[in-house]
Structure 1
Amino acid sequence: MNTIAALKQGNLLVFNEVYYSWHKRIYYFILRKTKSPFIAEEVVQLTFIKFWNYRESLADDLDVQLQLFRIARTTLIDFLRKESVYKEKVIHVIERYTLPADDLWGKLAEKELQHKIAHALEEMPPMRRKVFEMSRFKGMSHQQIAQELSLSSRTVESHIFQAIRQIRHYLGLLLPLLACLFPF
């Protein structure tokens, strides 16, 4: 039985074989393009989820490898587009709620925001906070931080991701309050 036909019939053993044969190659393909282990892992997972969910629409006459890499490429493009849109929304929110610097209320809001960020940093586990501060306040690269703290660069990236998520969550609770105080 050919691989595509077996996949279309929902054969999990064949899917596992395809996964174990190709997941590392797809991971390194995405890693070369993005230089981000986090993005590479996410895209690989999404690729195989899509591969399984849309197995019935796989082309019988195309090689599995070609179809997998095509899915991985389009998944990467979608992922990067979503990240770009998210960053634009964050910048828009920041610009929307930022008042002129000479405005007394603006200065107070900025000071309060800095206080809240400092509080969010205090609540972080010590290593996460240290990694985040080295990255964002000292401008160190992931490699430099990893070397200085004797961590893997993957661990450094994970700490930074978790710190940003924690700050984003903490500040996300404040945005409705800011919107009430400073409607535009």
Structure 2
Amino acid sequence: MNTIAALKQGNLLVFNEVYYSWHKRIYYFILRKTKSPFIAEEVVQLTFIKFWNYRDSLADNIGVELQLFRIARTTLIDLLRKETVYQEKVVHVIANYTLPLDDLWGRLAEKELQHKLAHVLEEMPPMRRKVFEMSRFKGMSHQQIAHELSLSSRTVESHIFQAIRQIKHYLGLLLLLLVWLFPF
């Protein structure tokens, strides 16, 4: 029986075979692109969920491999777009968040947030910190930073991504609380 036809009929054994045949290849494909095991795992999981959920719309005349890698690629793009939007919101909160002057607790929270942000920036490797500050505090584009520091745009993007991930990890719930309390 044709693999696609079996999947369309809901055959879990065939799905398991496809999963075990392709999940590592997709993982390493995404890992090569992102250099992030976390993102690679996430994309693989989402890819196979989508593959199963949309099995009725799989093309009969296109191989399983090609369809899986298309799904993985679009899933990665979607995930990176969502991450970029989230990161921009977090940075916006950090950079533009102000409280009324008469709010003592608010001022204390703002000072604490600024202190924590300064601390996490100090903990970053020097180049990552420099790239992040040039991007977020000086408003420079990736190309401008790359040119000034003699780096590739890809390296600049990677430094910014890692810096924001480090900030999110360090500030964690505090940022989530701020985003929830003060939506954009």
TM-score (norm 2): 0.64
Task: Give the 5 Å matches for 1:8-157.
Answer: 8-98=8-98, 110-114=110-114, 117=116, 137-139=123-125
- 2-structure distance, mates of 1:74, 1:139: 32
Match of 1:167 in 2: 171
Q: Between the two proteins, what is the percent identity of the paired residues?
A: 74
- 1-structure distance, mates of 2:15, 2:166: 32
Q: CA 1:16 to 1:163, structure 2 compared with 1: closer, same or farther past 3 Å?
A: farther
Kindly indicate whether the alpha-carbon contact (under 8 Å) linking 2:7 and 2:55 is maintained by their aligned counterparts in 1: yes
Match of 2:5 in 1: 5
Q: Could you report, residue by residue, the CA deviation over 1:133-160 in whole angstroms, capped at 9, with x for unpaired residues?
A: 7x9605289xxxxxxxxxxxxxxxxxxx
- 1-structure distance, mates of 2:85, 2:70: 23
Letter in 2 for 1:23: H
Give the CA RMSD over aligned residues: 3.5
- 2-structure distance, mates of 1:28, 1:17: 18
Q: Could you report, residue by residue, the CA deviation over 1:83-125 in whole angstroms, capped at 9, with x for unpaired residues?
A: 11111111222222158xxxxxx9865433256x49xxxxxxx
Letter in 1 for 2:12: L
How far residue 79 of structure 1 moved from its aligned partner, in angstroms, is 0.6
Give the total of aligned pairs: 141
- 1-structure distance, mates of 2:63, 2:171: 44
- 1-structure distance, mates of 2:74, 2:180: 35
SS of the aligned residue for 2:10 comes to coil
Letter in 1 for 2:67: Q
- 1-structure distance, mates of 2:60, 2:51: 14
- 2-structure distance, mates of 1:60, 1:29: 24
Q: CA 1:175 to 1:71, structure 2 compared with 1: closer, same or farther past 3 Å?
A: closer
- 1-structure distance, mates of 2:124, 2:95: 24
Structure 1, gaps ≥5 residues long: 100-105, 119-132, 142-160, 180-184
* Structure 1 residue ranges (4+ consecutive) displaced by more than 4 angstroms after TM superposition: 106-110, 174-177
Q: Could you report, residue by residue, the CA deviation over 1:49-74 in whole angstroms, capped at 9, with x for unpaired residues?
A: 00000000000011000100010011
TM-score (norm 1): 0.64
- 2-structure distance, mates of 1:15, 1:176: 39
How far residue 14 of structure 1 moved from its aligned partner, in angstroms, is 0.2
SS of the aligned residue for 1:173 comes to helix
